[in-house]
Amino acid sequence: MAILVLGGAGYIGSHTVYELIDAGRDVVVADNLQTGFKAAVHPKAKFYQLDIRDRGALDTLFQAEDIEGVIHFAASSQVGESMSDPLKYYDNNLHGTMVLLQAMVAHGVDKIVFSSTAAAYGEPERVPILESDTTCPTNCYGQTKLAMEQMMSWVSKAHGLKYVALRYFNACGAHVSGEIGEAHDPETHLIPIILQVPNGQREAVSVFGDDYPTKDGTCIRDYIHVTDLAQAHILALDYLMKGGDNNIFNLGNGVGFTVQEVIDVARSVTGHPIPARIAPRRAGDPAQLIASSEKAMKVLGWQPKYNDLPTIVASAWAWHKSHPHGFEEV
């Protein structure tokens, strides 16, 4: 029996595949390689290049492989892009998940762990955020992820599918082996963008807004190492395998850092002055997102290992320094 990882060539997906294979699991990866990289797929995983909106391709895969559970990362994930091209998000995220669930129901595969997001909450009513807090997304990306959660809930009632939604806060860092790390094209995430400056690929960092109601006016986020996120997927899958019911878990460190503080940490990790310029706010950004992950710790036994920002940024820096062009060969 194998675990199917959809989007297993992407950032969090590829790190999860590495952890699954290290744990001795059989893994099948499917990815359309639109944003993922074949080189990020663990050599021991079986690979299918397919788009989850392609029902025929999914049918072929489910017929050929003995799949006991699915981990679903295959989605578009950029806040800014979701505001300028919302229909792309409805198509790839919602329509894609609908086709996937149709195929899972048809083939009797009834367990799924999937990437949700802190963006499902919108501007939080309090921090740290609990899973039971109000969900009112401020961007289309978060809206589609919340709708994916709701879709699974209805499919569960009708067809008995069991799901765990993992609401990630800000994924960052890179695998300890140095073989895989964060690579998006174009890059939009804060830590890799900051590290482009000491890597000689960018003059300065733009800080999107310094007039938020936070201690230094810049947005606060909760940064969590990708390997800790990856571990949570394995725990969530095991929880479902042992008969656990549908559930939603936040995954973060429970500590918030401002954009300015992240830049300061990167300056000290890299020894580079990293110039920063204040720029306008980015559409759809809540002022602060900090997780309470106590539920994941209690129910899943999740214990994040990389809980300090300098260590996380240092792991990202090791990857970016050795792979200035990500997985692309130049």
Interacting residue ranges for ligand UDP, rule: CB under 6 A: 79, 170, 188-190, 193, 205-208, 219, 221, 259, 282, 285
- Choose, from 141, 168, 212, 306, the residue flagged as catalytic: 141
In this complex, which beta carbon is closest to ligand UDP, that of residue 97 or of residue 139?
Answer: 139
In the bound complex, what is the minimum distance in angstroms from residue 170's beta carbon to ligand UDP? 5
Nearest to 248 by CA among 127, 123, 131: 131
User: What is the phi/psi pair of residue 199, to 5°?
Assistant: -85, 0
Is 163 labeled as catalytic in the residue annotation?
A: no
User: What is the phi/psi pair of residue 140, to 5°?
Assistant: -70, -35
In this complex, which beta carbon is closest to ligand UDP, that of residue 72 or of residue 221?
Answer: 221
- Cα-Cα-Cα-Cα torsion 296, 298, 302, 307, nearest 10 degrees, comes to 90
* CB closest to ligand UDP, residue no: 219
In this complex, which beta carbon is closest to ligand UDP, that of residue 260 or of residue 292?
Answer: 260
In the bound complex, what is the minimum distance in angstroms from residue 285's beta carbon to ligand UDP? 5
User: What is the phi/psi pair of residue 272, to 5°?
Assistant: -110, 145
- Amino acid (1-letter code) at residue 146: L
In this complex, which beta carbon is closest to ligand UDP, that of residue 48 or of residue 317?
Answer: 317
In the bound complex, what is the minimum distance in angstroms from residue 81's beta carbon to ligand UDP? 10
Q: What's the start-to-end Cα distance of the chain, in Å?
A: 38
Close Cβ partners of 158 (under 8 Å, ≥ 6 residues apart)? none
The sign of the dihedral angle between the CA atoms of 103, 104, 105, 109 is: positive
In this complex, which beta carbon is closest to ligand UDP, that of residue 193 or of residue 297?
Answer: 193
Answer yes or no: are the C-beta atoms of 205 and 194 closer than 8 Å.
yes
- Cα-Cα-Cα-Cα torsion 87, 327, 315, 249, nearest 10 degrees, comes to 30
In this complex, which beta carbon is closest to ligand UDP, that of residue 55 or of residue 282?
Answer: 282
In the bound complex, what is the minimum distance in angstroms from residue 227's beta carbon to ligand UDP? 18
Tokens representing 237 are: 């899958």
d(CA 112, CA 220): 31
User: What is the phi/psi pair of residue 82, to 5°?
Assistant: -65, -25
In the bound complex, what is the minimum distance in angstroms from residue 208's beta carbon to ligand UDP? 4
In the bound complex, what is the minimum distance in angstroms from residue 24's beta carbon to ligand UDP? 32
Q: Which residues are catalytically annotated?
A: 141
